[in-house]
A and B are shown apart, each in its own frame.
Chain A
Amino acid sequence: MKVAIVVQRYGAEMNGGAELHARYIAERLARHHDIRVFTTCARDYVTWANELPAGPDDVNGVAVERFPVVHERDTRTFGRLSDRVFEHVHSIADELKWLDAEGPTSPSLRRHLESVRDRFDVFIFFSYRYWHAYHGMRATDRKAMLVPTAERDPAIGLSLFPPVFRAARAIMFNSFEERAMIRHAAGTDDLRGAVVGVGSDVPETTDANRFRQEFGINGPFAIYVGRIDENKGCPELFQNFQAYAARMRGQLQLVLIGKTLLPIPKHPRIHHLGFLTDRQKFDAMAAAAVLIMPSYFESLSMVALEAWALGKPVLANGRCDVLKGQAIRSNAGLYYESYGEFAEALDAIVSTPSLAQTLGRNGAAYFTRHYAWPVIERKYLETLDRIAREGPASRPMDPLPGFFARRRSELPAARNVLSRIPSGPSLS
């Protein structure tokens, strides 16, 4: 089969969740099918500035084609339009403007997808909320498959997206919570696809002592891995950990790994190590007592899966449905919804080795059962086989409304739509 993967950014150095997800899937599927990646020249997910050369490229043996972005994101305009569509009654035209402001706007990519539409059997789009996915799926109608990587944020309440969800040949969900949310947003349970997620290239051996020697970290520590950003719940993590360090016994430290967009508090027990290589990251996770995931919005959390793969327990933000659901389903992590729960749960894991070991063991078993590469590959290959057997979809995507209807301000605020979508972990 000839399969195209379309994603907002692509490269070996891209460590964002959806981008890394796309790369892993592309590299794994390349062993079975003819894979080609279409993406933009952007490297920065905020500005979408064209930093990589347009044209063909090769990343780890996968053919890649990059297209320029026509304008960078103007955060002021994007913020104003976000306020309009998320908080107020608005029109489809407003939503289209919002999508254009969000980016990465690349008409050349859309034109190219239209032109090669007949040359590929399936187009797999990543991240439903970006320009490339919406317009790309319209350009490759009846052949589009979607990996939405949806989080519980107001964008899911926009009226642009339900037709896209309904028209996808298959949706590869990251979690049961994501599936429930998208089904509700699309207004139908009749969405084809599977809860798949993504595997991870966890090394077979790690060396905790190597990490401790390399970075001079002694004693027990909790670890956070990922972008240090307000959207990831890091300010709350700092606040909680500082209170924990001041009030609870023990000498637990907090090690932060990743690029920071926030000032990190100066505290003798908080260490920021910056961006590390994969080897260093996995060594650090192996040395840690627990991984903390403070994010409110996650569609899967690959880092949590990696911690589980290494047999480490996870302490997750219980206000994130996906993380809470994963922790309960796996029996491999605790969660918190307040400082009191954070402190007690962290203390429970750190001071009770039997609990930490059991949670870690459950995590490793859960990862092997659901997120090991053979499992993920099998699900993707089965879905692709089904699409190949069935051929292009008979029903096209719902068209956009006409000129006047598109400008009629009658759509509810996206945040109100989101509030009507049931929340909580999907445990049934």
Chain B
Amino acid sequence: MSDSSVRADSVDVEQIMRQIRSRIRDKRGVDYTEDQIRELANAKLERFLDPNGVRSGLFEEFRRQPPPATYAFEDTTLFDSDKPLIRFFRKLLRPLLKLMFNPNVLSSTLHNQAEFNDYVKGLHPLYFELMHNLVLETTRLAIEVKNLKMRVESVQSRLEFNERRSRALEGVVQYKPEALQRQPPAARDNDPRTEPQGGTDPVTGGESLRTRRRRRRRGRRGQPGQAPGAAPDASASTAAGDEGPDDDGPDNGEAAADWQPGPAVEAGPARDTASGSPAPDRGDDSGGGSAPPDSQ
């Protein structure tokens, strides 16, 4: 509870518990509350589970099976009666009855059966609870799997994006020595950082690197899977502080020295938009919040 404020000398336990409960209510995803999981397990099981695997009406079906009837059976039950007169005669004639057969065995067997029924009846709620807990846990696991899948997709897209960017950077760096050779020596001596801005692409034969970058950005905008909200123009995007992916942008301090610094470098610490927590150190993002589409 890192966000709970605790004053040194005054703690109100009830207030803290209210905060904790509200925090639990606010949580979603993996940390569903017990009640929510129960609700999901009871009502919407088929949304999370394979209906062929676990039936959502399992509880109700189990509940419909009545537990065995229970009754008390003691050694006097056979001869008991509400009417005192009948009870008296039965008691009187019991020795005669015992001459014909042994009722004690019958009493004992039925007594054992009654006890067994009690035992089975006691197990019934246990089975129900066990099944109930199993279905709850299955639901919880299904939700966790779903969330983990989303996280894996998010990490995968982030990885692909980083790979694309690293490939682009490698491509840019290999032009640098040739471009330097084509520059007038005076210009190189004065300011090496001006070279890429005004330099010409050795491959295209005269087209400036900046023009080529701009054209590549335009080309990427048309590609599927592009980050939503990417600015139509790279310079406008940078000026507005948009931190969309830029294959040619400065990626670290050294690279930034070669490229024209933009306002994006000044951007504050990135926040993971999915979790609301500070994003992990991405190192080369230039304050970079180029969050992959799946994580938004």
Q: Is B257 an interface residue (CB 8 A)?
A: no
Q: How far is the CA of A334 from the CA of B20 in the complex (A)?
A: 10
Chain B residue at minimum C-beta to C-beta distance from A239: B133
Q: How far is the CA of A234 from the CA of B31 in the complex (A)?
A: 23
Best-surrounded residue of B4, B11, B23, B24 (most CB of chain A within 10 A): B11
Q: Is A345 an interface residue (CB 8 A)?
A: yes
Q: Is B100 an interface residue (CB 8 A)?
A: no
Known: A334-B13, A340-B31, A348-B16. A354 touches B8 (CB 8 A): yes
Q: How far is the CA of A340 from the CA of B25 in the complex (A)?
A: 10
Q: How far is the CA of A72 from the CA of B238 in the complex (A)?
A: 86
Q: Is A426 an interface residue (CB 8 A)?
A: no
Q: Which residues of B contact A333 (CB under 8 A)?
A: 13
Q: Is B61 an interface residue (CB 8 A)?
A: no
Q: Digitize A239-251: 1 where CB-to-B-CB distance is under 8 Å, 0 elsewhere.
A: 0000000010000
CB distance from A239 to the nearest CB of B (A): 10
Contacting A at CB under 8 A, from B12-48, are: 12-14, 16-17, 20-21, 23-24, 30-31, 33-34
Q: How far is the CA of A351 from the CA of B20 in the complex (A)?
A: 14
Q: How far is the CA of A344 from the CA of B2 in the complex (A)?
A: 11
Q: Is A51 an interface residue (CB 8 A)?
A: no
CB distance from B27 to the nearest CB of A (A): 8
CB distance from B160 to the nearest CB of A (A): 28
Q: Is A362 an interface residue (CB 8 A)?
A: yes
Q: Is A282 an interface residue (CB 8 A)?
A: no
Q: Which residues of B contact A331 (CB under 8 A)?
A: 11-13
Q: Which residues of A contact B24 (CB under 8 A)?
A: 340-341, 344
CB distance from B148 to the nearest CB of A (A): 12
Contacting A at CB under 8 A, from B126-182, are: none
Q: How far is the CA of A365 from the CA of B148 in the complex (A)?
A: 46
Q: How far is the CA of A289 from the CA of B121 in the complex (A)?
A: 43
Q: Which residues of B contact A340 (CB under 8 A)?
A: 24, 31, 33-34
Known: A334-B20, A335-B17. A352 touches B34 (CB 8 A): no
CB distance from A341 to the nearest CB of B (A): 6
Q: Are A355 and B2 in touch, CB under 8 angstroms? A: no
Q: Is A347 an interface residue (CB 8 A)?
A: yes
Please pick, from B2, B12, B21, the residue contacting A341 in the complex, using a CB distance under 8 A: B21
Q: How far is the CA of A352 from the CA of B3 in the complex (A)?
A: 9
Q: How far is the CA of A340 from the CA of B33 in the complex (A)?
A: 6
Q: How far is the CA of A352 from the CA of B2 in the complex (A)?
A: 6
CB distance from A35 to the nearest CB of B (A): 38
Q: Which residues of A contact B23 (CB under 8 A)?
A: 344
Q: How far is the CA of A349 from the CA of B9 in the complex (A)?
A: 16
Q: Is B6 an interface residue (CB 8 A)?
A: yes
Q: Is A338 an interface residue (CB 8 A)?
A: yes
CB distance from A325 to the nearest CB of B (A): 11
Q: Is B1 an interface residue (CB 8 A)?
A: yes
Known: A247-B30, A331-B13, A334-B20. A351 touches B6 (CB 8 A): no
Please pick, from B11, B12, B20, B34, the residue contacting A344 in the complex, using a CB distance under 8 A: B20
Q: Which residues of B contact A354 (CB under 8 A)?
A: 6, 8
Q: How far is the CA of A247 from the CA of B148 in the complex (A)?
A: 13
Q: How large is the interface on B (under 10, 10 to 19, 20 to 34, 35 or more residues)?
A: 20 to 34
Please pick, from A335, A345, A351, A358, the residue contacting B2 in the complex, using a CB distance under 8 A: A351
CB distance from B191 to the nearest CB of A (A): 49
Q: How far is the CA of A245 from the CA of B11 in the complex (A)?
A: 27
Interface residues of A, CB < 8 Å — how many?
Answer: 23
Q: Which residues of A contact B17 (CB under 8 A)?
A: 334-335, 341, 345
CB distance from B190 to the nearest CB of A (A): 53
Chain B residue at minimum C-beta to C-beta distance from A427: B14
CB distance from A250 to the nearest CB of B (A): 12
Q: Which residues of B contact A335 (CB under 8 A)?
A: 13, 17
Q: Are A327 and B31 in touch, CB under 8 angstroms? A: no
Q: Are B34 and A355 in touch, CB under 8 angstroms? A: no
Q: Are B1 and A358 in touch, CB under 8 angstroms? A: no
Chain A residue at minimum C-beta to C-beta distance from B36: A340
Q: Is A130 an interface residue (CB 8 A)?
A: no
Q: How far is the CA of A335 from the CA of B21 in the complex (A)?
A: 11
Q: Are B20 and A358 in touch, CB under 8 angstroms? A: no
Contacting B at CB under 8 A, from A292-344, are: 327-328, 331-335, 338-341, 344
Q: Are B13 and A355 in touch, CB under 8 angstroms? A: no
CB distance from B6 to the nearest CB of A (A): 4
Q: How far is the CA of A350 from the CA of B17 in the complex (A)?
A: 15
Known: A354-B6, A355-B11. A339 touches B34 (CB 8 A): yes
CB distance from A158 to the nearest CB of B (A): 21
Q: Are B13 and A327 in touch, CB under 8 angstroms? A: yes
Q: Is A359 an interface residue (CB 8 A)?
A: yes
Q: Are B16 and A355 in touch, CB under 8 angstroms? A: yes
Contacting A at CB under 8 A, from B202-246, are: none
Q: Digitize A80-98: 1 where CB-to-B-CB distance is under 8 Å, 0 elsewhere.
A: 0000000000000000000
Q: How far is the CA of A352 from the CA of B1 in the complex (A)?
A: 7
Chain B residue at minimum C-beta to C-beta distance from A352: B1
Q: How far is the CA of A247 from the CA of B24 in the complex (A)?
A: 14
CB distance from B29 to the nearest CB of A (A): 12
Q: Are B20 and A362 in touch, CB under 8 angstroms? A: no
Q: Which residues of B contact A332 (CB under 8 A)?
A: 13
Q: Which residues of A contact B7 (CB under 8 A)?
A: 358
Q: Are B8 and A344 in touch, CB under 8 angstroms? A: no
Q: Are B4 and A352 in touch, CB under 8 angstroms? A: yes
Q: Which residues of B contact A327 (CB under 8 A)?
A: 13
Further pairs besides A340-B34, A348-B16, A362-B11: 5, Cβ < 8 Å = A328-B14, A344-B20, A345-B17, A348-B4, A351-B2
Using CB atoms and an 8 Å cutoff, list the residues of chain A in contact with chain B.
247, 327-328, 331-335, 338-341, 344-345, 347-348, 351-352, 354-355, 358-359, 362
Using CB atoms and an 8 Å cutoff, list the residues of chain B in contact with chain A.
1-2, 4, 6-9, 11-14, 16-17, 20-21, 23-24, 30-31, 33-34
Interface pairs (14), CB distance under 8 Å: A327-B13, A333-B13, A334-B13, A334-B16, A341-B21, A341-B24, A344-B23, A352-B2, A354-B8, A355-B4, A358-B7, A358-B11, A359-B11, A362-B11
4 closest Cβ pairs, A-B complex: A348-B1, A355-B6, A340-B24, A344-B20
